[in-house]
């Protein structure tokens, strides 16, 4: 991978751990990395650092990354935007591309996939739709991911998460005791 020293990337995600891990991995690959946790901070950082690339999460707490795409493009014309999501669908991929994103990847992703998508190398499709899984994830997998997200928003408070999910506390505890469904079968 050929990364220039002027390749600045702005990472926008509300998950601090993900920001830290991806930021370190991209920095190790030669990118100059800056992070933001919400739309307001992202627009300010974009104006300050003038990034060449932006990696944006679809869900930023109560905000949508989709609504942020046109504002980022207006703040920094010519920036290459990569949208990441744990909730991949063709509809959101198409909407992201319509709003100005250059690529779309479904989480989990590794830093090499992100770097390839940013640099536009083979394997990272320009329309982004080819990066979606062949089939939608199983419903149980989506349920597991949703429960995990709500639990994280409740800072691990099972009673509060159960209330928000409309579940009995014991039902939520049983669901949490199970392992998540694999996204793709072993071959």
- pLDDT tens for the 187 residues of the chain, in order: 545 546 889 999 888 888 888 888 888 888 899 898 888 888 888 888 889 999 988 888 788 888 888 998 888 888 898 888 877 777 777 888 888 888 888 878 888 888 888 887 544 444 444 444 455 556 676 777 788 888 888 888 999 999 998 989 998 888 888 766 555 544 4
Q: Please indicate, yes or no, whether residues 110 and 147 belong to a single structural domain of this protein.
A: no
DSSP string, 144-159: HHHHHHHHHHTTT-HH
Partner residues linked to 10 by β-bridges: 34, 54
Same structural domain, 69 and 147: no
Same-domain pairing of 47 and 112:
yes
User: Is residue 35 in a domain?
Assistant: yes
Q: Provide the domain limits for residue 123.
A: 8-131
Place of tokens 């669908």: 89
Residue 92 shares a structural domain with residue 16:
yes
- Tell me: do 45 and 74 sit in the same domain: yes
């Amino acid at each position: 991978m050929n990364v220039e020293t002027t390749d600045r990337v702005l990472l926008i995600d509300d998950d601090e751990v993900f920001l830290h891990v991806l930021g370190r991995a991209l920095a190790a690959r030669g990118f100059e990395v800056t992070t933001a946790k919400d739309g307001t901070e992202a627009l300010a950082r974009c104006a300050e650092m003038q990034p060449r690339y932006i990696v944006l999460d679809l869900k930023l707490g109560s905000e949508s990354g989709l609504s942020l795409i046109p504002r980022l493009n207006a703040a920094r014309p010519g920036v290459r935007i990569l949208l990441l999501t744990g909730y991949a669908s063709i509809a959101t991929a198409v909407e992201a591309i319509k709003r100005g994103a250059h690529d779309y990847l479904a989480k989990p992703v590794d830093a090499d996939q992100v770097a390839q998508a940013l640099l536009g190398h083979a394997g990272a499709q320009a329309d982004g739709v080819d990066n979606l899984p062949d089939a939608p994830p199983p419903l149980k997998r989506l349920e597991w991911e949703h429960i995990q997200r709500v639990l994280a928003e409740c800072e691990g408070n099972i009673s509060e998460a159960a209330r928000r999910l409309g579940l009995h506390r014991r039902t939520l505890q049983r669901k949490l005791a199970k392992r998540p469904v694999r996204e793709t079968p072993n071959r």
